[in-house]
Amino acid sequence: MVYMYPEPGTLVRVTLNNNLCIEGEVDSWDEDTVILNSSNSNNQLVIYNPNKNIVFVKLIFDIIPEGDNAVENRFVSAPMISEDDIEIEPNEQPETIIEKHKNRICGLREKIAKHISQTPLELPMSYTNSYGTPDFRL
């Protein structure tokens, strides 16, 4: 039987037959042993009899960047308020700008209230279940 082994330096995630998942960079992969370098420390993981102990191997080619913005980079943020809806002139007084924003907020509140009133929010207060009775007659 011919097996294809990952090349040294490939990042893999290995699932063993006891459902343990381990991840590391391949140092060597033979018929008798598999040696993985740990990705977060200087440790090595050794798996004996890989043909019996390994259920499947996932080769990881794309690495998600880690850091403070890792989660933020996955999602596209939408603007909260579009300034196009409110026309503000350069020489306008702050009180009138605030009034325009208040009017816009009131309009949004009315839209939300209208949407909520259209959706059914009431759930039935009681449910009837009939499970029956056990019958022990043969």
Share of the chain above pLDDT 70, in %: 63
Residues spanned by the domain of 103: 86-118
CATH number at residue 45: 2.30.30.100
- The string of pLDDT tens digits covering residues 79-121 is 455 555 667 778 888 888 888 888 888 888 888 887 777 655 5
Residue 109 belongs to a domain: yes
Residues 49, 90: one domain?
no
Residue 54 lies in a domain: yes
Give yes or no: residues 18 and 55 share one domain.
Answer: yes
Question: In this structure, is residue 41 part of a structural domain?
Answer: yes
Residue 138 reports pLDDT greater than 60: no
Could you give the CA distance from residue 45 to residue 34 in angstroms, rounded to a whole number? 8
Of 2-16, 48-62, 72-86, 97-111, least confident by mean pLDDT is: 72-86
Nearest to 13 by CA among 30, 32, 33, 34: 34
For range 14-38, the mean pLDDT: 91
Structural domain count of the chain: 2
Q: Is 97 inside any structural domain?
A: yes
* Residue 119: predicted pLDDT: 57
Q: Determine, yes or no, domain membership for 21.
A: yes
Cα angle at 32 between 60 and 29, to 5 degrees?
Answer: 30
73 found inside a domain: no
pLDDT at residue 63 greater than cutoff 80:
no
Are 32 and 49 spatial neighbours (Cβ–Cβ below 8 Å)?
A: yes
